[in-house]
Amino acid sequence: MEVPLEPYDPYLVAMAALYLAGKVEEQHLRIRDIINVSHRYLHPRSDPLELDTLFWELRDSVVQCELLMLRVLCFRVSFQHPHKYLLHYLLSLKHWMNRHSWERTPVAAAAW
């Protein structure tokens, strides 16, 4: 399902994506924190956002955008991280390179 991006605020989509990513990765982020940080980033000179109508409308918009993202993705949000493949590749690379080159070049640190 393809959805045109023009009618959606990119910052709202970004907030919803962060919220959804936190759920998928089981690193739950409070939606209030995402909204407060985003508001502070977009309005650096304004006061912190109060828990009033504006906050609740923004919260509802983020939740609705998250639901739209899930629908567009057909609720397929799981994937395999490349870390396990990277580990095997680094081990084979370590055996292929000589010891001096391996210790001199921070391949593992750069890849992680």
Closest CA to 32 of 50, 44, 5: 50
Task: Note the pLDDT of residue 30.
Answer: 95
Q: What is the pLDDT of residues 66-81, one digit of tens each?
A: 999 999 999 988 877 7
Q: What is the pLDDT of residues 80-99, one digit of tens each?
A: 777 778 878 887 877 887 77
Closest CA to 63 of 96, 17, 22: 17
Task: Note the pLDDT of residue 42.
Answer: 93
Task: Note the pLDDT of residue 93.
Answer: 78
